[in-house]
Amino acid sequence: MYSEKVIDHFTNPRNVGEIENANGVGQVGNAKCGDIMRITLDIENNIIKDIKFKTFGCGAAVATSSMVTEMVKGRTVEDALEISNAAVAEALDGLPEAKMHCSNLAADAVHAAIKDYMEKKTKV
């Protein structure tokens, strides 16, 4: 079933909310299961100073959102882009096979937010 880490991140999610005036925003969803994740970033000098998430979905989706925020907070943009879907699941000590698509959303949402940040940065 679910690991203790998954249960902990679901019942005590970290970094919930939305950053006002975020300089990177990413939203992804999975039409098959209905999960939607929105990540907002505050990036300064190439470092992710703050990250928040809002997730509509199952417990695994909330847990992966929470975990990915912990994994990238304080890291460089390049390091955050290296985080894979498998790494999120591994950091939670695994997910049931039927819930693996949830970890894919967490990494994808971070990558989408970073892409948004980079696009905004090049327009300035």
Q: Tell me if 123 sits within 8 A of 85, measured CB to CB.
A: no
Q: Which of 98, 123, 119, 122 is nearest to 35 (CA)?
A: 98
Whole domain around residue 94: which residue ranges? 4-123
Please give the pLDDT value at position 27: 96
C-alpha–C-alpha distance, residues 6 and 66, integer Å: 9
Per-residue pLDDT at 9 exceeds 80: yes
d(C-alpha 78, C-alpha 27), whole Å: 19
In terms of residues, how long is the chain? 124
- Tens-digit pLDDT profile for residues 42-96: 999 999 999 999 999 889 999 999 999 999 999 999 999 999 988 999 999 999 8
User: Could you tell me which residues are beta bridge partners of residue 38?
Assistant: 27, 54
- Residue 7 has a pLDDT of 95
Give the residue-averaged pLDDT of 97-112: 85
CATH number of 11's domain? 3.90.1010.10
From the CB of residue 63, how many other CB atoms can be counted at a distance below 10 Å? 31
Which positions are catalytic? 33, 102
How many domains are there within the chain?
1
